[in-house]
Amino acid sequence: MSPALTAKQPQVARESEYYLAKISKIKNIEDFIADRRVFSYAMKAYNLDDMIDAKAYMRKVLKEGVDESDSFANSLTDPRFKEFATAFNFARYGEATTVFERTRQGTVDRFVRNTLELQVSGSNEGAGMALYFQRKAPEITSPYKILADRTLLKVVQTALGLDSSTSYMSVDRQAQLIESKLKIADLSDPAKLEKFIIRFSSMWDLQNGIGMTQVPNITGNRQSTISTSLLQSLQRLKLGG
């Protein structure tokens, strides 16, 4: 499976076609939210499926935008809302908001990628988490980015062998702990990122009793354990592949 094949799936293709046909005609927040099919598509693209019916909440997110440090989206610890308000920045651009690539094909690309991740997760939760981490890794600039995202945090805790109880520590202490065990800059290096994901896979499989196989790791001179299904998923789906 790949993003290209996922995009061609009948239901995905239909929803993407509808979204692209309609989004350019939407000029304000009310019209955006009123077209449930378009709004739902955009929300799913930004992993906000659980908030599709929270229209008043999302209206406030969009109306206040992200330009002011004390805006609603900026005050929320969940980064999904800031990402969404940044992409659909009606507060700053008004009617011109939907002319940008990020609100058109950029949103479609995110929708397709997220759909693929969900489908992979359905048969292999660890693979889905690994693919999600792979996609988000370039955005991770500090341990606080990890702490603000439950899936990223779960991957890091698993890969580093950190007990989930560390989540009860203060945010600053958790950040210090992660920094002491993980060099954040390494996540921007494709080879080091792949090694980290293989490490996560090994730990995930051990914790969940999944069968493992021996495969060469990225250094080429040692062996690393990784489930066959996850390895195949990662090989088929490189970031942007």
The answer to whether residues 13 and 81 belong to one domain is yes
Condensed to tens digits (0 to 9), the pLDDT of residues 82-130 reads 999 999 999 999 999 999 999 999 999 999 988 988 887 777 788 888 8
Q: Which residues of 45-66 are buried (b: 16+ CB within 10 A; e: fewer)?
A: bbbbeebbeeeeebeebbebbb
Q: Which residues contact 32 (CB under 8 A, 6 or more apart)?
A: 26, 38, 39, 42, 62, 88, 90
pLDDT band at 234 (very low <50, low <70, confident <90, very high): low
Condensed to tens digits (0 to 9), the pLDDT of residues 135-149 reads 889 889 999 999 989
pLDDT band at 222 (very low <50, low <70, confident <90, very high): very low
- Has residue 4 got a pLDDT over 50? yes
What CATH number is given to the structural domain containing 53? 1.10.3700.10
Q: What is the count of structural domains for the chain?
A: 2
The answer to whether residues 147 and 228 belong to one domain is yes
The answer to whether residues 150 and 219 belong to one domain is yes
The answer to whether residues 71 and 142 belong to one domain is no
Condensed to tens digits (0 to 9), the pLDDT of residues 28-77 reads 999 999 999 999 999 999 999 999 999 999 999 999 999 999 999 999 98
6 neighbors 115 (Cβ within 8 angstroms): yes
Domain carrying residue 210: 124-236
Q: Percent of the chain beyond pLDDT 70?
A: 86
- Has residue 212 got a pLDDT over 90? no
At 230, list the tokens: 């996850």
The pLDDT score that the predictor gives to residue 223 is 37
Q: What is the DSSP letter of 24?
A: T
The answer to whether residues 130 and 36 belong to one domain is no
- Has residue 241 got a pLDDT over 50? no
Residue at which a domain ends, from 108, 140, 167: 108
The pLDDT score that the predictor gives to residue 125 is 82
Residue at which a domain ends, from 108, 138, 161: 108
Q: Reduce the DSSP state of residue 218 to 3 states and report it.
A: coil
* Stated length of the chain: 241
The pLDDT score that the predictor gives to residue 109 is 93
Position 241 in a domain: no
The answer to whether residues 136 and 211 belong to one domain is yes
- Has residue 133 got a pLDDT over 80? yes
